[in-house]
Amino acid sequence: MTLLRRQLPLLITFVTGILFAAQYYIPHPASELMLTSVSKWLQIIAGFALILGVTSLFHIHAVKIRRKEPGWGYSFVLYAGMLGTIVIGLWHGGKETTDGVTTAFGWIYTFMMVPLQGTMFAILAFFIASAAYRSFRARSREAAVLLIAAVIVMMGRVPLGEHLIPISGDITQWILNVLNASVRRAILIGISLGAVALSLKIIFGVERAYLGGGKE
């Protein structure tokens, strides 16, 4: 069992990791053909991952309903919504419109999903305003710098700000292009180096958390 649980996955990871890291630098037709095939495999695996995700979601909420855990009613609504949408979606072949006419699936999408998601995002403005009022305080020198920068950028990103203080737009551009970009780039370089290090650890079998913690 150790072979199937540990050694084989480690070997596959090592071989594919080395192979596809090298592939990037070898523009030979055979190498490109291999990439084409494997990228298609990846798409197929991603498709199965979606099924796995949906199955897992169904399982978690089925347990909640069966045990009548707090909020199990919401799980029931989720079940009804998901099953209803899947059945109607399959019935209409996943099409929102047929010959220019909106299908039931399209109706669910246009008149339920779009406004619901839009509403969820829109209420952020209200909560951000409330949170800013309660917590955006110049408690320290660093917080004061952040506060001033935020006020300038908020002014410079809207026509009224540029109308009242014309230079606010230029200062905003400078903050975004120079201060923000340089700090973000430093963070990105750090993240990328971390990703490279982690990838090497996975390829060489040092990092094995992805194998799971099952008994050997």
**Residue ranges binding another protein (CB under 8 A):** 24, 32, 35-36, 39-40, 42-43, 45-47, 49-50, 96, 106, 109-110, 113-115, 117-118, 120-122, 125-126, 128-130, 132-134, 136-138, 147, 150-151, 154-155, 157-163, 169, 173, 176-177, 180-182, 184-185, 188
Shorter beta-carbon distance to another protein: residue 184 or 201: 184
Please say which residue, 60 or 143, places its beta carbon nearer to another protein: 143
Name residues whose C-beta falls within 8 Å of residue 61's C-beta, 6 or more positions apart in sequence.
75, 78, 79
Radius of gyration of the chain (CA): 26
- In the complex, what is the shortest distance from the CB of residue 20 to another protein, in angstroms, rounded to a whole number? 10
Distance CA 158, CA 86 (A): 42
Q: Check residue 94 and give left, alpha or beta (phi > 0: left; psi -120 to 50: alpha).
A: left
Q: What's the CA gap between 80 and 67, in Å, rounded? A: 18
User: Shortest distance, CB of residue 62 to another protein, whole angstroms?
Assistant: 23
Nearer to another protein, 63 or 174 (CB): 174
User: Min. distance of Cβ 58 from another protein in angstroms?
Assistant: 17
> What does the alpha-carbon distance between residue 201 and residue 196 come to, in Å, rounded to a whole number?
9
User: CB-wise, 58 or 109, nearer to another protein?
Assistant: 109
CB of 128 to another protein, least distance (A): 7
* Cβ 14 to another protein shortest distance, Å: 21
Residue 41 or 210 with smaller CB distance to another protein: 41
Query: At residue 190, what is the residue type?
Result: G
Pick from 19, 13, 14: nearest CA to 37: 19
> Considering the complex, what minimum distance in angstroms separates the CB of residue 101 from another protein?
13
Looking at the Cβ atoms of 11 and 150, the one nearer to another protein is: 150
Of all residues in the chain, what percent are helix, strand and coil, respectively (each to 5)?
80, 0, 15
Do residues 79 and 65 touch, judged by C-beta distance below 8 A? yes
